[in-house]
């Protein structure tokens, strides 16, 4: 049985589209026919994703804005026009970067960094994009969360809490809007490798011990599931958190 995903005519807003997982998701949605609205907090990264998509024959528009800015998000989404697909990918610790601390050694400012991007950023984008989806009777929302939210990880408790909040928020929204033809799901990731990450080093081997598939993930492991959830084929999947994690955790 052969099948293909056709998103022709759909407009997909991908936050954090300028690199890594966001870039891979943007390319996959474009390859399926969607017009990608490439968001990034850095305009040059958004422009880079647009240029890459256009070089492949796809359609894309830059959408630079900061997901932590409520007014800025609403103004940007209003200017973009109707959004059929929203992928909440922007996350981690924002432009300030990660801080690894036992919780009692962390500061309230650190907590705010994680919540502003990973929870409030998701809320801002859904608040701005959802009304047009419900009005038109069709929409897809996919939020990228983390196994740190499902399983818990030491020294990143505020990040875990923010991602768990985003997942719970998404499930609540799914219950609110299913009757309008809008599906809302989470994808939970474990470690996605990056350039310079050595799986054969002592640290790399130690990190990989809990994984059934003994490698770190890649952005291309994530993009196909996002594309499926964004498609008409996934019209009966909503309110779910789907792990893509190499077996780091196993659902019962």
What residue ranges define each of the domains in the chain, with the CATH number in brackets?
A: 11-244 (3.40.50.720)
Q: In this structure, are residues 139 and 130 in contact, taking their beta carbons and an 8 Å threshold?
A: yes
Mean pLDDT computed over 4-22 = 97
User: Tell me, what's the pLDDT at 54?
Assistant: 98
Query: Going along 7-67, which residue ranges are E strands?
Result: 11-14, 35-40, 59-64
| Residue 99 burial (CB count, 10 A) | 17
User: Tell me, what's the pLDDT at 234?
Assistant: 97
Which residues on neighbouring strands pair with residue 242, listed in sequence order? 187
Cα dihedral value 181, 182, 186, 187, nearest 10: 70
Q: In this structure, are residues 90 and 98 in contact, taking their beta carbons and an 8 Å threshold?
A: no
Mean pLDDT computed over 112-121 = 95
More confident residue, 195 or 218: 218
- Mean pLDDT check: name the lowest of 48-57, 69-78, 111-120, 207-216: 207-216
Mark residue 15 as left, alpha or beta (left: phi above 0; alpha: psi -120 to 50; beta: remaining): beta
Q: Express each pLDDT in 130-141 by its tens digit.
A: 999 999 999 999
Task: Tell me which of 120, 159, 180, 211 is the catalytic residue.
Answer: 159
Q: Which residues of 196-228 are buried (b: 16+ CB within 10 A; e: fewer)?
A: eeeeeeeeeeeebebbeeeebbebebbbebbbb
Q: Express each pLDDT in 144-186 by its tens digit.
A: 999 888 888 888 899 999 999 999 999 999 999 999 999 999 9
| Residue 134 burial (CB count, 10 A) | 15
What single DSSP character describes residue 232? G
Q: In this structure, are residues 98 and 52 in contact, taking their beta carbons and an 8 Å threshold?
A: no
pTM across the whole model: 0.94
Q: In this structure, are residues 160 and 153 in contact, taking their beta carbons and an 8 Å threshold?
A: yes
Query: Going along 41-181, which residue ranges are E strands?
Result: 59-64, 85-88, 139-146
Q: Is 180 a catalytic residue?
A: no
Q: How far is CA 68 from CA 40, 112, 236, in A?
A: 12, 11, 31
Q: By percentage, how much of the chain surpasses pLDDT 90? A: 76
């Amino acid at each position: 049985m052969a099948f293909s995903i056709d998103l022709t005519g759909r407009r997909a807003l991908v936050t954090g589209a300028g690199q890594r997982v966001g870039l891979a998701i943007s390319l996959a949605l474009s390859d399926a026919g969607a017009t990608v609205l490439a968001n990034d907090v850095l305009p040059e990264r958004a422009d880079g994703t647009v240029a890459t998509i256009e070089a492949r024959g796809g359609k894309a528009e830059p959408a630079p804005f900061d997901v932590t800015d409520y007014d800025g998000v609403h103004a940007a989404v209003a200017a973009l026009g109707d959004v059929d697909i929203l992928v909440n990918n922007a996350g981690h610790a924002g432009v300030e970067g990660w801080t690894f601390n036992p919780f009692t050694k962390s500061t309230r400012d650190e907590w705010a960094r994680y919540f502003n991007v990973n929870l409030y950023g998701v809320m801002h984008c859904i608040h701005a994009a959802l009304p047009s989806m419900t009005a038109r009777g069709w929409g897809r929302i996919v939020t990228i969360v983390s196994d740190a939210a499902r399983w818990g990880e030491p020294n990143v408790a505020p990040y875990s809490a923010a991602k768990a909040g985003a997942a719970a928020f998404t499930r609540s929204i799914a219950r609110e809007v299913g009757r309008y033809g809008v599906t809302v799901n989470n994808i939970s990731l474990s470690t996605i490798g990056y350039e310079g990450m050595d799986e054969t080093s002592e640290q790399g081997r130690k990190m990989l011990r809990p994984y059934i598939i003994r490698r770190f993930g890649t952005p291309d492991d994530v993009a196909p599931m996002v594309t499926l959830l964004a498609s008409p084929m996934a019209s009966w999947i909503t309110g779910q958190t789907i792990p893509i994690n190499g077996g780091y955790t196993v659902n019962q």
